Amino acid sequence: MNTELQVKIALQKNKIEQFINQMRQILSNTPDEVEKENRLEIFDTLLLLATYADPAELENELKSSLPQYENNSTINYICRKLREINGFCKCSLSDEHEVYQDLFSALTHTSSRTKYSVRELLSETISNLIIETTNAAGIYQISPPR
């Protein structure tokens, strides 16, 4: 893997990490401690779900966990980002997605196999980040691939 591609994947990882940290900060401002813990737990659960669920399953969980999400800009933003994370983790987004286009621009050979490898690498990187940041590895005894 070339250095430019490594840098671009790290940049995408950092963007996801910033999103997670930003949302946790917002949710941590909830005054009621019980409600704050509940919101953080739901967010972590949805993050984990985004790493492996089919898009329809994620959508159903978003609707049941965040019933008023259609009317709230912050919740809409969370849902949009979770859908995108799901697309990266499940490798279901189009090659035309701006992130993939940026990653593919670092390749000298853009065969289907190479593109698939890049998609898989991004998926693994984001999934591992989410497993680590939600502490799922310890809770569920998951060992992220190395």
Q: What is the pLDDT of residues 36-73, one digit of tens each?
A: 999 999 999 999 999 999 999 999 999 998 866 567 88
SS3 string, 88-119, reads HHCCCCCCCCHHHHHHHCCCCCCCHHHHHHHH
pLDDT at 60 (0 to 100): 94
49 in Cβ contact with 134 (< 8 Å): no
Residue 89: its pLDDT value, please? 96
Task: Give pLDDT, residue 66.
Answer: 83
d(CA 28, CA 48): 19
Contacts of 125 (CB under 8 A, 6+ apart): 9, 12, 13
Q: What is the pLDDT of residues 108-146, one digit of tens each?
A: 888 899 999 999 999 999 999 999 998 765 555 555 544
pLDDT, tens digit, 9 for 90 and up, residues 77-89: 999 999 999 999 9
Q: What is the pTM of this model?
A: 0.87
Domain spans of the chain?
3-136
Q: Provide the 3-class DSSP secondary structure of residue 32.
A: coil
Residue 23 scores a pLDDT above 80: yes
List of residues 6+ apart from 103 with CB closer than 8 A: 5, 8, 9, 12, 118, 122
Encoding tokens for residue 19?
A: 């999103």
Predicted pLDDT at 34:
95
CA distance 123 to 90: 7
In the prediction, which pLDDT does 67 show? Answer: 67
